[in-house]
Amino acid sequence: MKHYVEIGDTDLAPLLDLNHRTVDFPAGKTIVALNEPVDKIYIVTSGWSLRARYLDDGRRQIINFQLPGDYFDLMSLVGARSDHTISAATDTTLRIYNGQDYLRAIQRSHRLAAAFWWVTVQEETILRQQIVRIGRMSAQERIANFILELNRRQNIADGDRDDFVPLPVPQAFLADALGLSVVHISRSLTSLKARDLVKTSRRGIEIIDRDSLVELAEYDPALFEPKPVPLAAQ
């Protein structure tokens, strides 16, 4: 668990010094409920959390996952109420900061403010990518794209260059993230295995043929790669 090292390395480090508390959430527990005012910010220490909306008949759309090292609800401190639910996908540990402290810290440091903007830009990029995935890609393409995206984000958090993508949630979660049924997720994964692009196990997915996967998913990692923040108008 070297996430702290990672966090500490960024321009966001000053955040870590602020008052905070560390809270454990068991899998399934709600972290931020629908319509709840958002006045805290969160950093995932371990586990996965997820942001989702539920339709009346029980359909669930997972909007995105928060992985270890991820910050979230940074932008929601302007008096908004949550329009979705955040809950623990696995057993999860979060550091929770007070929104006011955070705002003051941002106002003290333009460098911190810029870093925070950067995180928000990244998050919007992830949302847009999710829209392209579920709007215009086939099941296999969606899965390939999503796996590569997870892999990219996990590599950032871990610092490794690993081809194994841990997946600590059941395939039903993949289904609700990608707008597919569990059954079809399973079948599509089977196809990807048959094409020797990936191997699967209970614990995750192993990328076997990254090039083909990238081609199938039209996944351009450059679009997501963090770039140095130029700190304009500092």
Partner DNA sequence: CGCATGTTTGATAAACCTCAAGACCGGTGG
Partner DNA sequence: CCACCGGTCTTGAGGTTTATCAAACATGCG
Where along the sequence are the contacts to DNA (CB under 7 A)? 138-140, 170-172, 179-184, 186-190, 200, 202
- Which one of DNA, a copy of itself, none is in contact with 127 (Cβ closer than 5 to 8 A by kind)? a copy of itself
CB of 69 to DNA, least distance (A): 24
Q: Using CB distances below 5 to 8 A depending on partner kind, what does residue 58 bind out of a copy of itself, DNA, none?
A: none
Which runs of E-coded beta strand occur in 131-203? 164-166, 198-201
Which C-beta is closer to DNA: that of 86 or that of 180? 180
| Least Å from the CB of residue 143 to DNA | 10
| Residue 16 interacting entry, from a copy of itself, DNA, none, C-beta within 5 to 8 Å by type | none
- Check binding of 22 to a copy of itself (CB under 8 A): no
Number of residues that bind a copy of itself (CB under 8 A): 56
Whose CA is closest to 72, among 106, 95, 100?
Answer: 95
Q: Show the site string, 44-73: x = touches a copy of itself by CB under 8 A, - = not.
A: -------x-x-xx--xxx-x----------
Q: Which does 33 bind (CB under 5 to 8 A by kind): DNA, a copy of itself, none?
A: none
- Interactions with a copy of itself, residue window 124-143 (CB under 8 A): 124-125, 127-132, 134-137
CB of 27 to DNA, least distance (A): 8
Would strands 198-201 and 164-166 be described as parallel, antiparallel, or unpaired? unpaired
- Which DSSP state fits 221? G
**Per the structure block, which two tokens stand in for 80?**
């908004």
Give the residue from 50, 82, 71 showing the smallest Cα distance to 172. 50
Pairing of strands 198-201, 60-66: unpaired
- H-helix segments, the chain: 3-9, 13-16, 99-108, 110-136, 139-158, 171-178, 182-194, 210-217
Q: Are 139 and 184 in contact (CB under 8 A)?
A: yes
Q: Is 156 in the site for a copy of itself (CB under 8 A)?
A: no
Instruction: Select from a copy of itself, DNA, none the partner in contact with residue 100, using the beta carbon and a kind-dependent cut-off of 5 to 8 Å.
Output: a copy of itself
The tokens describing 13, both together, are 């480090």
Distance set, CA 178 to CA 12, 56, 61, 200, 213 (Å): 31, 19, 8, 18, 17
